[in-house]
Structure 1
Amino acid sequence: MRTEEEGIPQWDVEEMEKAVKDEETVIVDIREPDEYEEGHIPGVPLLPMSEVPERIEEMDKEKTHVFICRSGRRSQNVAKFARENGFERVVNFSGGMLTWDGELKTGEEKRIKETKELYRT
């Protein structure tokens, strides 16, 4: 069920399950590395919230970006920040990883070192 909060679309688990399979949607986990390593959606890269401001200009404004955190609060703030920086297609995973009931992977899988690594080629 799609809703909106503060002008940002909010996706639930069902929509996230579809997004994980969609090669055009860019899903970004913005939690801290230790949170990510405890469990994350397989294939979803980690870009900690603290690094977003320094990388925002390198991100592709033409793509849809879905931001994930533990509960949906931090990712909502990152989505608003992206919107303020010219991104029109941003989404928050409402409820965050607390609501994710799909597959999880542990450990450091995909920590972003270069912004281009966010994008599947």
Structure 2
Amino acid sequence: MRSEKDGIPQWDREEIEKKLEDESIAFVDVREPDEYEEGHIPGVPLLPMGEIPEHIEQMDKDKTHVFICRSGGRSQKVARYVNEQGLERAINFEGGMLSWEGETKSGKEKRVNDTSDLYK
């Protein structure tokens, strides 16, 4: 079910599962590398929360971005931050990985080094 918190749309696990294959949406895991390597949603790239400011200018303002963390707290902060910077289509994964019941992958998979890595 969709809801909103502090002006940021919130998607739950079911909404994420439905939209995961939608190439018009950029899913971004904002946890730390060790958390990501323990288990993440396959295909979702890692861009740690602390690195968002250095990539914000190159992020596609016309694209929807869904931010993911462990429980939904950090990703909410990131979604609010990028929204304030002009990314108006920022969404938080409410409940985060703690609520994820789908497939996960461990280890390093996809780390964002260049912002274009978000859109592949």
Please give the TM-score of this superposition, normalised by the length of structure 2.
0.99
Task: State the alpha-carbon separation in 2 of the partners of residues 95 and 34 from structure 1.
Answer: 19
Give per-residue Cα distances to partners, 1:85-104, cap 9 Å, x unaligned.
01111100000000000000
CA distance in structure 1 between the aligned counterparts of 2:17 and 2:96, rounded to whole angstroms: 13
Classify the secondary structure of the residue corresponding to 2:20.
Answer: helix
Percent identity of the aligned residues? 67
Instruction: In structure 1, give the amino acid aligned to 2:60.
Output: D
Q: Does 1:48 align with 2:48?
A: yes
Q: Deviations over 1:1-35 (max 9, x none)?
A: 00000000000011100121111110000000000
C-alpha distance in structure 1 between counterparts of 2:63 and 2:30, whole Å: 17
Tell me the residue number matched to 2:23: 23
Matched, 1:90 2:64: no
Tell me which residue corresponds to 2:70.
70
Alpha-carbon distance in structure 2 between the residues aligned to 1:95 and 1:13: 8
Give the distance between the partners of 1:18 and 1:27, measured in 2 at CA.
Answer: 13
Match of 2:105 in 1: 105
Extract unaligned runs of 5+ from structure 1: none
Moved over 6 A (4+): none
Aligned positions, number? 120
Matches within 5 A, 1:1-16: 1-16=1-16
What letter is aligned with 1:8? I
CA RMSD of aligned residues (A): 0.5
TM-score between the two structures when normalised by the length of structure 1: 0.98
Q: Distance in 2 between matches of 1:62 and 1:7?
A: 18
